[in-house]
Chain A
């Protein structure tokens, strides 16, 4: 391909991605934006998104870190299966994820009766929002953390062991600090994916302001009910957050 053609194709593609984002910004003005974002509906959705994604991230770190370390450091029967299972949500359509969660944890789902026996009802709750987010987002952290842990020389952990630290002390003092850029990058991507989660949430958690209507659902429902300004304003908030996330990830890769 000639250089001119390559430049043209590149410019076309970059414009294709940049123009819609720009169009969002041009669709509003500062006064409308502030009014829309400050509206009660928008604030409720933003707060819910903040709370749920924070819990999702905490769960992802707490549960994903040991698994990522296991995958990076140990050989065990069925490791390839575990590996594939953990990656599955990345390629699964979110609507499928939502349906899967519903038929697993829903009232009539596989585990529904057992959960109901314990007085637990998951579907259509804020907990369901968190579970939907965790399902689709945690693989991004596990992948990044696993790569980070794999990059730490095993002899460094051996050295720490001979110098007097046990597995946990070694993990905290050697493994985590050396894998930190990967861990942070994975955490940020996971948080961003959780923030953007829509399909699985609306299927498994439903849509109710203050309970399950996160920002992406508010964007969709806002547009549906003709509130284009509100939808655009919330979209711009998500665009801004996404850009910050990208900046963080890029700076860590350097």
Chain B
């Protein structure tokens, strides 16, 4: 069963990047938020900073009541944050089988083998990838890899789920099908789920809250429906063209 602890993820940080400063002050509650913006606008950096893979210059990050970052004194390592992360290229371990990839996080958390096996099997079943259990990642299609990456992130029962451009690696034909599947699947998880994309069509598919970032700054934070018609920037205007 999907978990539903629904702790809020609050972020108020500043981080200097090469061309501009990332400034974000926002909170995420359960459900899917699509973070959308042009390439190089700081979306991925925001996810990585929230996951603990990067450090902000100043600011704080909290998961529920738990402070995981207060730059520069407090920095909880990624392994302690309990964030499921699906990377853009999926980052599956090429030397491990599908089963071993999915079991990886459970090994890290020292889950006993019987329970580990049970949870991995259930997750593979749930994502329809059980027949691939013994395969190595390089034998899989892009869509299959995405499911394995998702299974690997979800099986540790994370406090939040981050997906960085999960559809970018797919060709046009499979993208719309996978997008619909993903939308259906993610709505079952009542945890803050952040999906980064440069494609406004993804915001349309998930339909919920949309955060628009340009040059490191949040320029819009609203339900998808209310963003249509906005012409504040050239990027926002593309929402109306769909």
Smallest distance from the beta carbon of B93 to chain A beta carbons, Å?
A: 6
Closest residue of B by beta carbon distance from A169: B108
B156 partner, pick from A153, A163, A177, beta carbons under 8 A: A163
Tell me, yes or no, whether A159 is within 8 Å of chain B by CB.
yes
Tell me, yes or no, whether B26 is within 8 Å of chain A by CB.
no
**Which stretch, B62-70, B83-91, B210-218, touches the partner chain A?**
B83-91
| Consensus secondary structure, chain A interface | helix
B93 A166 Cβ-Cβ under 8 A = no
Tell me, yes or no, whether B56 is within 8 Å of chain A by CB.
no
Tell me, yes or no, whether B208 is within 8 Å of chain A by CB.
no
The answer for the CA separation of A128 and B84 in the assembled complex, in Å, is 52
Tell me, yes or no, whether A156 is within 8 Å of chain B by CB.
yes
Q: Mark A152-180, 1 if CB is under 8 A from B, else 0.
A: 01011011111111100100011001100
B156 A159 Cβ-Cβ under 8 A = no
Smallest distance from the beta carbon of A169 to chain B beta carbons, Å?
A: 7
Chain B, 195-225, CB within 8 A of any chain A CB: none
- Which residues of chain A have C-beta atoms less than 8 A from B89's C-beta? 153, 155
Smallest distance from the beta carbon of B54 to chain A beta carbons, Å?
A: 10
Closest residue of A by beta carbon distance from B79: A164
Smallest distance from the beta carbon of B196 to chain A beta carbons, Å?
A: 14
- Which residues of chain A have C-beta atoms less than 8 A from B88's C-beta? 155
Smallest distance from the beta carbon of B44 to chain A beta carbons, Å?
A: 11
A153, A155, A162, A178 pick with most chain B CB within 10 angstroms? A162
B108 A164 Cβ-Cβ under 8 A = yes
**Given known contacts A158-B78, A161-B77, A166-B79, A153 and B108 CB-to-CB distance under 8 angstroms:** no
- Which residues of chain A have C-beta atoms less than 8 A from B79's C-beta? 161-166
**Given known contacts A161-B79, A162-B51, A164-B156, A156 and B108 CB-to-CB distance under 8 angstroms:** no
- Which residues of chain A have C-beta atoms less than 8 A from B153's C-beta? 162-163
Q: How many residues of A contact B (CB 8 A)?
A: 17
- Which residues of chain B have C-beta atoms less than 8 A from A159's C-beta? 85, 87, 91, 93, 152
- Which residues of chain B have C-beta atoms less than 8 A from A165's C-beta? 79, 108
A153, A163, A174, A177 pick with most chain B CB within 10 angstroms? A163
B87 A155 Cβ-Cβ under 8 A = yes
- Which residues of chain B have C-beta atoms less than 8 A from A173's C-beta? 104
A162 B84 Cβ-Cβ under 8 A = yes
A153 partner, pick from B48, B91, B95, B104, beta carbons under 8 A: B91
Closest residue of B by beta carbon distance from A167: B77
- Which residues of chain B have C-beta atoms less than 8 A from A166's C-beta? 77, 79
A162 partner, pick from B78, B94, B95, beta carbons under 8 A: B78
A156 partner, pick from B84, B85, B93, beta carbons under 8 A: B93
Smallest distance from the beta carbon of A95 to chain B beta carbons, Å?
A: 43
- Which residues of chain A have C-beta atoms less than 8 A from B77's C-beta? 161, 166
Chain B, 72-131, CB within 8 A of any chain A CB: 77-79, 81, 83-85, 87-89, 91, 93-95, 104-105, 108-109
The answer for the CA separation of A162 and B104 in the assembled complex, in Å, is 11
A163 partner, pick from B52, B53, B94, B152, beta carbons under 8 A: B152
Smallest distance from the beta carbon of B174 to chain A beta carbons, Å?
A: 22
B105 A177 Cβ-Cβ under 8 A = no
- Which residues of chain A have C-beta atoms less than 8 A from B48's C-beta? 158
The answer for the CA separation of A169 and B110 in the assembled complex, in Å, is 12
- Which residues of chain A have C-beta atoms less than 8 A from B152's C-beta? 159, 163
- Which residues of chain A have C-beta atoms less than 8 A from B94's C-beta? 156, 178
B104 A160 Cβ-Cβ under 8 A = yes
A163 B95 Cβ-Cβ under 8 A = no
Extra pairs beyond A158-B87, A162-B85 (6, CB < 8 Å) = A153-B89, A155-B88, A159-B93, A160-B93, A161-B77, A165-B79
- A residues with a Cβ closer than 8 A to B are 153, 155-156, 158-166, 169, 173-174, 177-178
Listed by A's residue number, 28 A-B pairs whose Cβ atoms lie within 8 Å are A153-B89, A153-B91, A155-B89, A156-B94, A158-B48, A158-B53, A158-B78, A159-B85, A159-B87, A159-B93, A160-B104, A160-B108, A161-B77, A162-B51, A162-B53, A162-B81, A162-B83, A162-B84, A162-B85, A163-B152, A163-B153, A164-B105, A164-B156, A165-B108, A169-B108, A173-B104, A174-B93, A178-B95
A-B pairs, 8 with minimum CB distance:
A164-B108, A163-B105, A161-B78, A159-B91, A162-B85, A155-B91, A164-B79, A165-B108
